[in-house]
Structures are given as C-alpha cells and as structure tokens.
C-alpha cells in the first residue's frame, strides 16, 4: 500500500515536472518572452487586487481617494517606482512614474456582453494635476472625477453612432493646462473581438 | 529477440511520456484531486490591429493576464493591449486594457475563454496566462 502511494506521488511529481517543462519550452522557444512565465505567474492568484499585488503595490500604505459614480471606492497604493490605482471591483492597474511622464497611464475596463456595456476609464496624472476633462470625438466634453493625481470616469462602450473618448485635458489647481493625454483606442477597440 | 522486446518496451514508455506531456501541457499544478488549472499561451509576434492569442479551451478561469514585449524579456510599456475573459456561448464578456500589461477577472463560476489582443498598431510578441 505504502509502495503504491509512493508510486502515485512519484508519477504526480513527474507529471507536474513535465507540465512545467512543457511551459518552459513553449516560452523559451518564442521570441520576446524571456522571463514572461515568471512575470505572468505573479498574477496566478484569485486574491483581491491581483493586478496591484503583481505590480508591487504596498497595500498597507493604500488610501481611499474617492468613489466612482456607481459607488465603488477608488484607492491608491505606492509601488517602488510609481503608483497603483485600486477599485473595489477587480480592475486595478499600476503605472510607473516614467509611464505617467510619457502619457502612457490610461487604463480602460469594459463589459462587452451587450451593446453599450459599462465602461470605466482611469488615468494616473502628472504631478500638480488637479482637474481633468475628457474630450470626445465630436468635440463634446465631460468632467472626470479627479483626486490625488488620479482621474476616473464611468460611462459606456460607444455604439456605432456615438462619439468616443479621444483625450484627457489635464490642468493644475489654477486651471492652467499641464498636458493632454491621448486615449489609445478608438470606437472599435473597446470590444475588439466583435 | 530480447533486444526487440526492450525496444518495444522503451517505445511504449516514450509513448506514455508523450501522452502525459500532451495531457498536461498547460496544466502546471496538481493539488490532491481538486485540480487547479493554469495555462500559458501565445508568446509570439502578432499584428497590432486587434490580432489576438487565445487559450486552448474554456475553463473556470478567474484571471487572464497579458503582456507585450518590445524585445525578449522587455515589456513594452508604450504599447496598448487588452485582456479578455468571455463565454463563446453565454453572456459574460469582460475586457481590460492597459499599457504593457493587462488583466481581466471573472468569478470562476463560468467556463470562459481567455484572449490577449495587441492594440499597439505594430506587430509585437504577446503572451497570456490564465488560471482558475
């Protein structure tokens, strides 16, 4: 009996090792993915704030900075080189300071299960940012909630006849323009598989 | 004669190993009989106008993460990608977009597929990782 259990354990270990090797081979044989598996496995958790944890957020230092229109809390947590934005829904994201400086700090989360599904757009802003205005493709605008150099907006996925967000106008406390951040996707980018 | 039997036995073992590898590729963890499942997929260049990589099948995924690379091992934080968890026959369909890295989540109670889209506009290597 003991021998059988030992054999089963050995086979299980061997199978796990084979699976692990198969994955390693998959990734080592493809270009552009050195270290990928290790990085992605950092996301291997069903725990809350999985993206923030993977991004190195110091959750003990997190603080609530506001709420969304839907009533979800919005928090920030520092990382060693930037900040993570945390929502009460599992749509966190982290942005290094260098990305913010380059204007690459926009994160979008949307529901494609039906037409005009809910969409949330958020961005980490440069130092000194105090207010933001979201501009749409038809020139219309909408004020974004802004606090602690983070902006967020709740809307819906644009339909074929509706304008879509194109940029975020960022101003300082005096209302002077600091920068304009482009939205990297157009109307068809929200639900790309359709 | 004996050499032939040994060869046959060896061939059978190799075949068994192949079956095990095929059965477990993409399945990295075994915990008792309640199997956790994870799958690494993609890892090669795809077009930048919403081309995508996809999991090998549907599973009760709770998370699907993706990354895009400018060179081997270097995440391209200037490129936009999207991670999707969705049902091909059903209504759940969540998409999360970000620069360099993205992640979409589900409850794990539904059988979903995972995809990662390249939305950068240029061909780059994209990798995905989904887990239950």
Q: What is the DSSP string of chain A?
A: -HHHHHHHHHHHHHHHHHHHHHHHHHHHTSTT-TTHHHHHHTT---STTHHHHHTT--GGG-EEEEE-TTS-EEEEEE-SSEEEEEESSS--EEEEHHHHHHT--EEEEEE-SSTT-EEEEEEE--TT--EEEEEETTS-EEEEEEETTEEEEEEE---TTS--EEEEEEE-TTS-EEEEEEPS--GGGSSTT-
Where does the pLDDT of residue B34 fall: very low under 50, low under 70, confident under 90, or very high at 90 and above? low
Q: How far is CA A61 from CA A57, A77, A79, in A?
A: 9, 6, 10
User: To the nearest whole angstrom, how far is the Cα of B58 from the nearest Cα of chain A?
Assistant: 16
Per-residue pLDDT, B31? 39
Binary contact (A108, B97; C-beta < 8 A): yes
B48 touches chain A (CB under 8 A): no
Q: Is the dihedral of CA A146, A150, A155, A159 positive or negative?
A: positive
Per-residue pLDDT, A91? 80
CB-based contacts of A53: which residues, under 8 Å, 6+ apart? Answer: A42, A45, A47, A59
Q: How far is it, in rounded angstroms, from Cα B24 to Cα A20?
A: 9
Tokens coding B14:
């190799």
Residues of B in contact with A22 (CB under 8 A): 21, 24-26
Interface of B with A in 86-115 (CB under 8 A): 86, 91-101, 103, 105, 108, 115
Q: Identify the burial level of B116 via C-beta atoms within 10 angstroms of its C-beta, where 0-12 means exposed, 13-18 middle and 19 or more buried.
A: buried
Residues of B in contact with A33 (CB under 8 A): 43-44, 69, 72-73, 125, 127
Residue indicated by tokens 């009989």: B33
Q: Is the dihedral of CA A131, A61, A59, B81 positive or negative?
A: positive
Average pLDDT over residues B91-117: 95
The closest CB to that of A16, out of B29, B84, B128, belongs to: B29
Which of A15-24, A117-126, A167-176 is predicted least confidently? A15-24
Strand partners, B72: none
Tokens coding B83:
């991670």
With vertex at residue A112, the alpha carbon angle to CA A116 and CA A189, rounded to the nearest 5 degrees, is 85
Where does the pLDDT of residue B32 fall: very low under 50, low under 70, confident under 90, or very high at 90 and above? very low
Strand partners, A78: A83
Q: How far is it, in rounded angstroms, from Cα A126 to Cα A178?
A: 8
Tokens coding B16:
């068994």
With vertex at residue A42, the alpha carbon angle to CA A78 and CA A22, rounded to the nearest 5 degrees, is 160
Binary contact (B30, A96; C-beta < 8 A): no
Q: How many CB pairs under 8 A join A and B?
A: 180
Which of A32-36, A154-158, B10-14 is predicted least confidently? A32-36
The pTM of this model reads: 0.77
Binary contact (B98, A93; C-beta < 8 A): yes
Q: How far is it, in rounded angstroms, from Cα A135 to Cα A68?
A: 19
CB-based contacts of B48: which residues, under 8 Å, 6+ apart? Answer: B79, B118, B119, B120, B121, B122, B123, B124
Count the alpha carbons within 13 Å of A75 in the hemisphere toward its beta carbon.
21
User: To the nearest whole angstrom, how far is the Cα of B1 from the nearest Cα of chain A?
Assistant: 30
With vertex at residue A40, the alpha carbon angle to CA A190 and CA A90, rounded to the nearest 5 degrees, is 50
User: To the nearest whole angstrom, how far is the Cα of A183 from the nearest Cα of chain B?
Assistant: 10
- A20-58 residue pLDDT tens: 333 333 333 333 333 333 334 433 333 567 788 888 888
Element housing B40 (H / E): strand B38-46
Which of A86-90, B12-16, B20-24, B29-33 is predicted least confidently? B20-24
Best A16, A109, A114 member to test B by mutation, with max B CBs in 10 Å, is A109
User: To the nearest whole angstrom, how far is the Cα of A136 from the nearest Cα of chain B?
Assistant: 18
Question: Chain A: residue nearest B86 by CA?
Answer: A113
- pLDDT at residue A145 is higher than 90: yes
With vertex at residue A59, the alpha carbon angle to CA A54 and CA A60, rounded to the nearest 5 degrees, is 150
What share of chain B in percent tops pLDDT 70? 74
Q: Which of A185, A110, A64 is nearest to B120 (CA)?
A: A185
Q: Which of A134, A192, A49, A156 is nearest to B95 (CA)?
A: A192
């Amino acid at each position: 009996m003991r021998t059988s259990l030992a054999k089963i354990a050995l086979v299980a270990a061997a199978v796990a090792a084979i699976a692990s090797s198969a994955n390693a081979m998959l990734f080592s044989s493809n270009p552009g993915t050195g270290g990928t598996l290790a990085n992605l496995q950092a996301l291997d958790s069903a725990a809350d704030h999985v993206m923030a944890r993977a991004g190195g957020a110091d959750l003990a230092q997190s603080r609530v900075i506001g709420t969304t229109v839907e009533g979800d809390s919005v928090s920030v947590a520092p990382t060693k080189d930037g900040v993570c934005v945390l929502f009460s829904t599992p749509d966190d994201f982290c942005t290094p300071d260098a990305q913010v400086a380059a204007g690459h700090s926009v994160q979008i989360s949307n529901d494609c299960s039906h037409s005009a599904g809910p969409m949330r757009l958020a961005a980490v802003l440069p130092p000194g940012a105090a207010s933001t205005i979201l501009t749409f493709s038809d020139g219309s605008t909408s004020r974004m909630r802004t606090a602690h150099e983070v902006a967020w907006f709740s809307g819906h996925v644009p339909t074929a006849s509706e304008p879509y967000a194109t940029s975020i106008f960022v101003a300082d406390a005096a209302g002077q323009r600091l920068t304009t951040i482009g939205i990297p996707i157009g109307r068809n980018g929200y639900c790309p598989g359709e | 004669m004996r050499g032939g039997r040994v060869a046959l036995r060896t061939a059978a073992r190799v075949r068994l190993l192949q079956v095990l590898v095929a059965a477990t590729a993409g399945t990295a963890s075994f915990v008792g009989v309640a199997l956790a499942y994870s799958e690494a997929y993609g890892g090669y260049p795809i077009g930048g106008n919403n081309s995508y990589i996809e999991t090998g099948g549907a599973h009760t995924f709770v998370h699907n993460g993706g990354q895009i690379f400018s060179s081997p091992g270097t995440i391209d934080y200037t490129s936009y990608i999207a991670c999707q968890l969705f049902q091909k026959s059903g209504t759940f369909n969540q998409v999360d977009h970000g620069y360099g890295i993205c992640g979409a989540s589900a409850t794990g109670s539904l059988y979903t597929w995972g995809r990662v889209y390249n939305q950068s506009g240029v061909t780059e290597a994209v990798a995905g990782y989904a887990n239950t």
